[in-house]
A and B are shown apart, each in its own frame.
Chain A
Amino acid sequence: MAGELIATEHEDWRHFVGKALRNRSFMAGALITVLVVAVALVSFVWTPYDVTKLIIADRLQAPSGAHWFGTDHFGRDILSMIMVGSRNSIAVALIAVGIGIAIGVPLGTLAAAKRGALDEILMRASDIVFAFPALLSAVMITAIFGPGAVNAVIAIGIFNIPVFARVARGGALALWPREFVLAARASGKRAGLITVQHILPNIANLLVVQGTIQFSLGILAEAGLSYVGLGTQPPAPSWGRMLFEAQTMMAIAPHMAIVPGVAIIVTVLGLNLLGDGLRDVLDPRLRRQR
């Protein structure tokens, strides 16, 4: 039984690559996401200008050959700030997804394996978290424990936990009555081992798709928190913070607001397209006519 499964997984892999290459949504999303991540990585070794250097004489310049995206009210190069800011956005959203997976998936698979009262308690608890307006609660958490990127990660991550718990539980519940799981049970394996060997590899698809969705929501949430001054703190550049600073300059330097906004949109769009594409490619049964 296990041998058969591994064989089909190999075929699936080749099949998956072929399908991925033909899926326009996946390709567009993957291209954009790779580009954004590449920009973030490049910013560690090179940016066109130093983002910590203020050159007041160059302030509020419109986009030009020297400054592709113009400069801000301190004369900083906006392209360089966007590049460095992308690190924060990606790091915060990615770690928040990591928190959601690390805590949510064990809880969800445990609930599916044990059922009964534990399942009921965990699901009711997730209902309670869902009842909290995420943004207001994230604002509350960051304001109470102090503004900053770390607390923003925690605030966003907390709301990812029930999302992944639900997805993992739903996926696992559908697998437990399947024959290969029954066979594993009959051979005397314990629930924990079955979960690791048989359930997790088979719900990985679902988790990857949900992961890209939560990643894009995390980018938006980080931008929102930084915009109200509770996320990444100055002088570290962040897209949300840049938008806040641009707001008062709107009449004289609209490029200051347009560029970070477009950066957020492109990143979120890329992740959403990637998520849609992955869902179609990885699991045709999940394919919704969206």
Chain B
Amino acid sequence: MLSYALRRIVIVVITLLAASVVVFAVLEIVPGDPARLMLGINATDDAVAALRQQMGLDQPLVLRYFAWIGGMLSGDFGRSYTYSVPVIDLIRERLVVSLPLALMALALSTAIAIPVGVFSAARRGTAADTGVMAATQLGIAIPNFWFAILLVYVFAIALRLVPAGGFPGWEAGIGKALAALILPAIALALPQAAILARVTRSALLDVLGEDYIRTARAKGLPARLVLRRHALRNALIPVLTILGLQFAFLLAGTIIIENVFYLPGLGRLGFQAITQRDLIVVESVVVLLVATVVIVNFLVDLAYAWADPRLRRR
């Protein structure tokens, strides 16, 4: 188990390093000088050169890469060109919106998808199963930002139940903050729930064909108990993989949803930073999200290997 974990950690580190090089390289070829962009078109060449020096932009590429990576590892993400504050503060400020949003969406999607998947699997081939599967096909095809626009129309404009956008901050009270996050969370959760319900159903049907299920049934255990205790528990492995992938997807998927609802989250920060050429912020946000994807996947793999020793040899 330990050697498996160590091998995986080496792969995680290499992946992260390679990803950071890619991000850095891509953003280095961006047209436009950040220093000139900050000072405006009327700035003198001397002023731009001075700022470039101050920002470290006159250093060789390789040195700047190592300075950036070294800084990130010690928690210093650099200073934003446009906001003139440490990037880490910006990210922390935005994470308190995006992280609860992603977690809410994940919880909602799981709460809907698993019961629906179990319901459908238990009624395989019936009209109810066909109906549920048709609904999930529809759920997958719906663009989440379109669904978000409709939610705003119904619940914020027509019924006036929740705000149409913006975020009051947690200091305005948990109720108000959650009310601002509920529609975006539903919009994010719906397509994910559709996918997850299909995976749950498919995984359960695979497990229901196994010998030990037949044995459990032959012992005379009630169908419901067989489904819950024997089948569902084993079917959760593929479901867990998808959940792991979805968490990272939700965190990054907020980029468009946060734009629909004008939420000051990580996705919107990344989006604005891209359009303002605030490269240091873009680099940090992308690397942070990549790290989340890689680490969540690593943890899911580790959980598998712990649960199923056969997987450790791979």
Contact = CB atoms under 8 A, between A and B. Distances in A.
Contact of B19 (A132, A135, A216, A265): A132
B137 A272 contact: yes
B141 A268 contact: yes
Nearest to A265: B141
Given A247-B149, A250-B149, A272-B137, A139 B255 contact: yes
Interface stretch (B44-52, B56-64, B171-179, B201-209): B201-209
B140 interface: yes
A128 B143 contact: no
A163 to B, nearest CB: 14
A132 B14 CA distance: 14
A289 B26 contact: no
A214 to B, nearest CB: 14
A127 interface: yes
Contacts of A139: 255, 270-271, 274
Interface residues of A, number: 42
Interface residues of B, number: 52
B55 to A, nearest CB: 19
A148 interface: no
A227 interface: yes
Contact of B260 (A141, A247, A269, A288): A247
Contacts of B270: 136, 139-140
Nearest to A261: B146
Given A144-B26, A272-B140, A135 B252 contact: yes
A128 B18 contact: yes
B290 A261 contact: no
Given A136-B267, A136-B270, A223 B143 contact: yes
A202 B260 CA distance: 45
Contacts of B251: 133
B282 A224 contact: no
Most B CB atoms within 10 A — which of A130, A133, A246, A260? A133
A290 to B, nearest CB: 5
B138 interface: yes
Interface string A254-284: 1001101100111011001100000000000
Given A136-B286, A136-B289, A290-B201, A265 B149 contact: no
A256 B18 CA distance: 44
A243 B282 CA distance: 26
Nearest to A146: B31
Interface of A: 124-125, 127-128, 130-133, 135-137, 139-141, 143-144, 216, 220, 223-224, 227-228, 243, 246-247, 250-251, 254, 257-258, 260-261, 264-266, 268-269, 272-273, 288-290
Ranked nearest first, the 7 interchain pairs of A and B with the lowest CB-CB distance are A133-B252, A261-B146, A268-B141, A269-B141, A143-B274, A289-B205, A265-B141
Interface of B: 11, 14-15, 18-19, 22, 26-27, 29-30, 124, 133, 137-138, 140-143, 145-146, 149-150, 152-153, 157, 198, 201-202, 205-206, 248-249, 251-253, 255-256, 259-260, 267, 270-271, 274-275, 282, 285-286, 289-290, 293-294, 297
22 contacts: A124-B15, A131-B293, A133-B251, A135-B256, A136-B289, A139-B255, A140-B274, A140-B282, A143-B275, A227-B256, A227-B259, A228-B256, A228-B259, A243-B145, A243-B146, A243-B149, A250-B149, A261-B149, A264-B143, A268-B140, A269-B137, A289-B201
